[in-house]
A and B are shown apart, each in its own frame.
Chain A
């Protein structure tokens, strides 16, 4: 009887540790994902970029101000550039 109680107690503790480990893993993974998201600088998006070069030309002519044209390869919006 005593042996059985010890076995069941050990089993319950094991299950509790297993559940705890799962939650700890989830919290750790979530924090890692959040860290990467937080490190993504989106400051450049504060600039009121217009939609296209042709639209920039139209506005520039209308407002009589120059154009800042930034050309690149890839996709600046996703950091794949």
Chain B
């Protein structure tokens, strides 16, 4: 729904102007625990839906009246289609004769943006983005942040006396902290389900001076990540990257990596389904 109906301008207008919009992740993945009151309220809504035999499921739209009563629901198979969700919302607005909310009220009630991530002392975050390039379903772009300690990211930079042309291997356990996120968006989003089967990551000092060291990165990866329940998924990728390091200040000044070739093959009970994908990594800038 994120990249289908919830990105539709008409849906955005209706949901923003006439209704109080809220999303709830049932498993709070990457979000931390939810307060007890929130859980209790969602359970109440679920019980009411079940008692009234309305459509439901983990991914679902619910309309609640101002007194909390469940008005109706729309399951994801329908709600993800703007041509169904738009008339569903228009009917509600017309039936309830809802006036548009004041722009100030909308702005004031919107949740604040999350605070930027802060790494431990001298650590850094690498922002990982992936997407399919030609999958029949648009899953959008996934984002993860791999946190490396100072000791870990320093394995990407050369020793002080290095000469241009020297190469070294980035330790597997450091590479794996990044590589475990190199799976496409899809029905299984849990990074904990990733297993690195094979990988290499070679760093080469390209240019070296007192002020700047440029390092190229070349790697390969084979990663197991189930696409959904009862299926196997396999990422095979060739990767290139480039980073710059300031030896005077002992800080990374840039880090970029992208897949040269990447494929995700998922296999259920039938034949394998290969799909091209792309992986991109960028250093998170300090706020």
Contacts and interface: CB of A to CB of B under 8 A. Distances in A.
B45 interface: yes
Interface in B112-165: 112, 114, 129-131, 139-144
Contact of B38 (A44, A54, A70, A73): A54
A56 B58 contact: no
Contacts of A35: 278, 280
Contacts of B143: 40, 78-80
Contacts, number: 235
B25 A59 contact: no
Given A22-B214, A33-B256, A65-B66, A70 B107 contact: no
Interface in A49-81: 49-57, 59-61, 63-81
A50 B108 CA distance: 9
Interface residues of B, number: 82
Contacts of B23: 49, 69-72, 76
A75 B31 contact: yes
B84 interface: no
Contacts of B281: 33
Contact of A47 (B6, B31, B142, B257): B6
Contact of A52 (B35, B67, B257, B280): B35
Contact of B20 (A40, A65, A75): A65
Interface in B205-263: 206-207, 214, 216, 240-242, 256-259
B46 to A, nearest CB: 9
A60 B64 contact: yes
Given A56-B22, A61-B67, A70 B101 contact: no
B2 interface: yes
A70 B1 contact: yes
Interface of A: 19, 22, 25-26, 29-30, 32-33, 35-37, 39-41, 43-44, 46-57, 59-61, 63-81
Given A48-B16, A51-B22, A56-B20, 10 more contacts: A36-B280, A40-B141, A41-B7, A44-B12, A53-B42, A60-B20, A66-B19, A67-B19, A67-B63, A73-B58
